[in-house]
Each structure stands twice: as C-alpha cells, then as structure tokens.
Amino acid sequence: MNRMRSLVCTLALLLTSLSAGAQSNFYLKNGDRVVFYGDSITEQRLYTTFVETYIVTRFPKLNVFFVHSGVGGDRVSGGWAGPIDFRLDRDVIAYRPTVVTCMLGMNDASYQPFKSDIFNNYATGYQHIVERLKAYSPNIRMTLIQPSPFDDVTRPVSFEGGYNAVLLRYSQFVKELAEKNSFDIADLNTSVRATLERANATDANTAKKIIADRVHPGPSGHLIMAGALLKAWNAPSTVSRVEIDAARKQVNQAENTKVNGFKVSGNVLTWEQRDEALPFPLGIPKRLVSDQEVPTLALTLSSSDFVEALNQEILKVIGLQGTRYRLTIDGEEIGSFTAEQLATGVNLATLPTPMTTQALAVHALTSRHNDLHQVRWRQVQMPLNGETLPEVSHALAAIDKLDEAIVKKQHALAIPKPHKYELTAQ
C-alpha cells in the first residue's frame, strides 16, 4: 500500500512538472513589452484586451506591458492618423516593444476581387513595416497576423469567390513573410471562419451577429480571434486540475494548484485549494458581454474549441458512494453534479465561481487602463502634437502615471486566493 501511494505521488509530481514545462513554453517572457498594431479591428480593443486578461490571469507573476495601437482605416501605408513611418515611430517604437503583433489587410485589399497591383502595394508596404521594425531592434519578436475573415459564410458573396478568398491570398503572403524573417504567425481567419460555419449550421440568424457588418467581429468573434493568437503563442489549456479519490480519501493529482487539509467525513468532502492561475472569465457571461450578446457568445463557444483549448479548470472526484453532490466554494453554492459527472471531471471555468468573479474584476481593470491609454493617445497626444505648452507633457506624464497605477492594481488583483471547497451528498 505504501509503495502504491508512493507511485501515485511520483506520478502527480511528474504531471505537475510537465504542466510547469508547458507554462514555461509560453511565448511571452518576463519583462516583455507588447504592442498590438493594426486597423479598426485592432482598434476595437477586444481581441487584444481578451489576450491581455488571459495572460494576466493565467500568469499572474509575469510582468508584461501591453499597448493597443489600432487605427480605423489603416493600411500598410498608414492612414488618417499618419503615414506608416510616423505611425510606427509614435505608436509602436516609442513604447520600446520587445514584441509586436501586426494585423493589416482588410482595408488593403480594397473590398474587391483580387488585383495584382493592389496586392503588390500590400506586399511592398508590409515588407517595409518589417524592415523598419527590424532596423529599430534586430532582436524584435514579431507575430504577423493573417487577417481576420470577411464574413462570406452567413451571407451570400458579393462577387465570384467572395472577398474572404481574396484575404486568404493576402494571408498566404503574410505567412511566407513571417517564415522568411523567422517571425511567428497567427491565423485569425481559419478559426473564426470555421466557427461561423458551425454556428451557421446550428442557428443561422444568431450566427450573423458574430460579425454583424461582415468586417468587425463582435465580442464573441474577437474571443475566437484571441484564442487563435494565444494558441499561436503556446498558451496552456490548464488553469488547474485536481483529482480526488473519495474512496481512498486522498488527492491523486493537483496540477497548477495546492490542495491542503483534505478530509472525508461521512458524505462530506472538504479541502482548501489555492490555484496558481485564474480562469478566463466566462463563468458569468452577462458580465463579460451585454445581455443582448449573451446568445451570440453561447453559440460561438459551443461552435468553437476555446474552452477546451484554453480554459480548463477541472475538478475530478472518483470513488463517490452517493448519486448526486452539491459543490460549494467559500460557502457559495456552485452547482449540483452527479457522481458520474464528477468522475468524468467538472470544468469550473464555465461556472460562476469566486475565481471567475475575481477574473472579471481583473478584466474590468484591463479595459479601464486601455480606455485611459486611448484617451491619452487620441484626445491629448494626437490633437496636441507640436503644441509647446508645458502642460501637454505634464498631462501625458500624469496619465501615464495613473495608467501604471491601474496596471499595478490589475496585476495585484490577479493573484489567486485560497478557497474552501465542500462537496456534500444530496
């Protein structure tokens, strides 16, 4: 018996070690400074803030700085906010990035059938962006993003082949450019398109709302885009994983978490658990999106692999004698589950737990500091460019200081807390 328990402990340690290895393979490193660059789809600050919240909650001890620099209508040549070199200097290089993501192409292809001269301008302009950023820093890490789709799935195409087929030709160039420069590539077209196809087959009317204007995804579409970028960065699926053997009164596995004080008293199991990460906050969807968007989010999640691939907070309990059990965390009822469900494993990341509530509060601060940066950039820095009043620089510095304080609070809030679990037979 002692030998068997020793084997179980050894296996648990091995699994924990493998999990730690997966976490360490994540693309971003401590001290990284990330700039998200792009057009109006990046300017929506949805896939970017989802990515930021995931990283802050999944890696609460990781110090990474994020800036969102999308401008509506932009092309590889720039746009109304300035020509490309001016944009790169002010909106990218000024933040001393170690990592830059770039998603351009939706506007560049001009919403018409493929034309060689338009494509050649795109190719030349994109190469210039890469060369300019490499000149700034030969060690810069870039993730070139293949353009998100034009929705030719839920509506008829407007010309033969459809506009998204044109974007796919541009995407192939982006992939080849990334490979040529040993950069990373993220495909934000394929996964969203596949989700649209599955959603359209299930509920055609709701599927149209994922990208309502065919160009700019709503929050649910951006969530799938965020997932594609995170997977390109080797983001781990596991928040935490606990496996309990009720019959043997032991914890068989504790991955990315610590379990203390486990007890079995009759038909009641109790323990304290402190995870190393928080879930992405999908457990209370009405607080992540508006009431009107809840059905669209539900359809999108059921039509994608986001939860399976990126948001697994598993509680598995085997050896139970009863048929149904009530789970509470910190005295708050989370749900009622059959013994079979618990033996298979319940994903707490999809439920309204205290951990989800905490993660939602982190996301609120993510949005707050990004909104503040947007005000700094678009309402102070840009319109007052060239103004010599000393109050301008003082105002920018004050906003930066406030932004730093909010980010510090965001990171502090992302540190997981211990929680008391109780599983009681009903």
- Domain-located, residue 264: no
Compute the distance between CA of residue 91 and CA of residue 67 in angstroms, rounded to an integer: 9
**Angle at CA 309, nearest 5°, toward 358 and 422?**
45
- Domain-located, residue 68: yes
- Domain-located, residue 288: no
DSSP SS3 for 29: coil
- Domain-located, residue 175: yes
Question: pTM of this prediction?
Answer: 0.93
Q: What are phi and psi of 291, to 5 degrees?
A: -55, -40
pLDDT band at 15 (very low <50, low <70, confident <90, very high): very low
- Domain-located, residue 79: yes
Number of neighbouring beta carbons within 10 Å of residue 23: 18
Compute the distance between CA of residue 234 and CA of residue 28 in angstroms, rounded to an integer: 9
Domain at 118, CATH number = 3.40.50.1110
User: 189-247, pLDDT tens digit by residue?
Assistant: 999 999 999 999 999 999 999 999 999 999 999 999 999 999 999 999 999 999 999 99
User: 28-59, pLDDT tens digit by residue?
Assistant: 999 999 999 999 999 999 999 999 999 999 99
pLDDT at residue 299 in the model: 97
- Domain-located, residue 354: no
Compute the distance between CA of residue 285 and CA of residue 360 in angstroms, rounded to an integer: 10
User: 367-416, pLDDT tens digit by residue?
Assistant: 999 999 999 999 999 999 988 999 999 999 999 999 999 999 999 999 99
Paired with 186 in beta bridges are 145
pLDDT at 360 over 80: yes
- Domain-located, residue 362: no
- Domain-located, residue 294: no
Tokens of 166: 């044109």
The helix (H) or strand (E) run that includes residue 271 is: strand 268-275
Number of neighbouring beta carbons within 10 Å of residue 117: 7
User: 292-330, pLDDT tens digit by residue?
Assistant: 999 999 999 999 999 999 999 999 999 999 999 999 999
How many folded domains does the chain comprise? 1
Domain that holds residue 188: 27-232
